[in-house]
Structure formats: structure tokens, C-alpha cells
Amino acid sequence: MSVRSGVAEVESSERVAQILDASARIFASKGYEGTSMRDISESCGISKSLLYHHFTNKDELYTRVAETATKELYSFVEGRVAAETDPTQRIRAFMLATAEYFHRYRWAWIASTNAFWSDPKRRRQKERMMRRKRYETHLRELIRDAVEAGQIRNVDEAMAGRLILSALNWMHRWYDPSKSATPHEIADTFFDLIFKGLENKG
């Protein structure tokens, strides 16, 4: 495993970063319960004991992986949104930024998405849910602003927000990095489809 996959790019220890990267990939493809500490240690070419030298237990290791997928998402997206002034373009920036974030932390994103249900630790889940809610509320505010600016029609912003997030959140299930379109292009296409609609007005 020579190529880094996005997790812990600025991790102090080289080994810790290697473990986090390998864990992200394995958790993403096999789920939390389906991944054993032996799987991880063997994919890193190290002993299982060394995992416990760097991390207290499996749960902390998983949490570290999952956090990278969500922890800075909000501030990253907010920064991109703030760079735009036009209400509609702010929504587009929200979508493109989310896609870019997904692209960068793909395996960690998938790992945390797949274990959305069945979280053994409720404290962690509560924390993640709060970040999530803040992120979703932000989108709804952007939609509300665009409605008030007269740029989009008076839709239910909760449902419109869910539609946008569905398009972005389902992407990991079919996105193939070896194919042509980048997440950025995909998000842009979805923005066009959602904004203009399918209907032929001509």
C-alpha cells in the first residue's frame, strides 16, 4: 500500500498515517464489524500488537477514520460558499465543495457513511449528528435565501435540500475514479439538472 488515500495527510507519525489510510480502505469495503484488527495489521505489514501501541482500541481507530470524513466538511464547504455572493451560485458552491471533499477523503467518507447505522458508541454518533445537522441547516438557509432573492421558486427548502444531499450522498455508491467524470463535474451536472429541471420549456 504505497499510495495515500486522503486520511491523515498531515499526521505526525508516518506509521500512524499508514494505519489510518489502510483502515479507511478496509472499513469502507468491509464495514466496522467485518473488519478485524488482523486485517488491518496484515495490510500494513505489521503486527497486531503495534496497532494497539498507536491506538487504544478498534473503536478509537475507526473513530479517527470517520472523523476525517466529517470533521472539517462544514468549515471547508462554508469557506467555498462564502467566496460567492449570488444566492444561486452559493448553492452551486455548496455542492461542488461537498463533491471535492468527498473526492479527497473518499475511503474515509465511505467508511463513515456505511457505519451510519449500528454505531456502538452513542456519544460519538450524537457528535456526528450535530455536525451533520449544522451542515444540512446551512444548505436550507442557502435555499431560503435564493427563494427570497426570487432566483428559485418557493419550494419546501427541507425537501429541496434533501434532494440535493441525496444526489451528493449517493454518489459514493456508483462513482468510479477510473471513469471519465470527476466528482466536481458530476456535482456540476447535478446542479444543472436540479436547478433547471428536466422539463422541456421550449
Partner DNA sequence: GCGCGCCTTGACCGGTCGGTCAGCTCCTCT
Partner DNA sequence: AGAGGAGCTGACCGACCGGTCAAGGCGCGC
Q: Which of 52, 74, 76, 195 binds DNA (CB under 7 A)?
A: 52
Residue type, 61: L
Q: How far is the CB of 65 from DNA (least distance, A)?
A: 14
CA 92/CA 194 separation, integer angstroms: 10
Compose the 11-50 pattern: x for residues touching a second copy by CB under 8 A, - for all others: -----------------xxxxxxx----------------
Q: How far is the CB of 129 from a second copy (least distance, A)?
A: 12
Q: Which of residues 70-109 bind a second copy (CB under 8 A)?
A: none
Q: How far is the CB of 142 from a second copy (least distance, A)?
A: 11
Q: Is 165 in the site for a second copy (CB under 8 A)?
A: yes
Provide the grid cell at 63.
Answer: 473513530
Listed residue (65, 53, 55, 72) closest to 25, CA to CA: 65
Exposure string of 70-107, with b = 16+ CB inside 10 Å and e = fewer, is beebbeebbebbeeeeebbbbbbbbbbbbbbbbbbbbb
CA 153/CA 108 separation, integer angstroms: 36
Q: Which of 48, 124, 140, 144 binds DNA (CB under 7 A)?
A: 48
Q: How far is the CB of 173 from DNA (least distance, A)?
A: 25
Listed residue (28, 13, 93, 97) closest to 62, CA to CA: 28
CA 99/CA 185 separation, integer angstroms: 9
Which residues sit at the interface with DNA, rule CB under 7 A?
Answer: 13, 15, 35-39, 46-50, 52-53, 56-59
Which residues sit at the interface with a second copy, rule CB under 8 A?
Answer: 28-34, 110, 114, 116-118, 143, 146, 150-153, 155-156, 159-160, 162-163, 165-167, 169-171, 173-174, 186, 189-190, 193-202
